[in-house]
Structure 1
Amino acid sequence: MTNVVTVRMSHIRQATLCSRGARAWFAANGLDWSKFLSEGIAAETLEATGDPLALKVCGIAREEHLNG
């Protein structure tokens, strides 16, 4: 099992965030939205922003990673 936690669109939706806002947030933070949709993004990358909503989404992804 890998230690890299990948955040996907499903985690954003579980956090009750909208795709429009997430897309704008990705653009504002210089992150590739299209790549995220196809591959996901490492939780560490989002956590590095320190953004509270990003941290919420990463928490959901990490919990899923731990619990399967």
Structure 2
Amino acid sequence: MSEPRVHVRHMRALGYCLRGCRAFYAAHGLDWRQCLHEGTPGEQLAATGDAMALKLLDLARREAGR
């Protein structure tokens, strides 16, 4: 089963600074524009191994009922 997409609403729900998230995306080669428009595949965030990214993915999973 594929991971859910992570959206800006998840970042906001956790109180993450969007400027910092944008910098994180740039540092990890992730597509910020894609995130803004359709979300980021959870697999991409999981691959970073970053604790804050994994919290986002956990929230998206809970929202999706997983």
TM-score, normalised via structure 1 length: 0.88
| 1:61 equivalent in structure 2 | 60
What is the correspondence of 1:1-68 to structure 2 with a 5 Å cutoff?
3-66=2-65
- What's the CA shift for 1:16? 1.1
Identity of aligned residues (%): 44
Deviation at 1:56, TM superposition (A): 0.5
Give how far 1:4 is off: 3.9
Segments of 4+ moved more than 3 angstroms? none
**Structure showing greater Rg:** 1
TM-score with structure 2 setting the length:
0.91
Q: What is the root-mean-square deviation of aligned Cα atoms in Å?
A: 1.5
Q: Which runs of 5+ in 1 are unaligned?
A: none
The amino acid that maps onto 1:5 is: P
Measure, in 1, the Cα distance between the counterparts of 2:54 and 2:43.
Answer: 10
Q: How many residues align?
A: 66
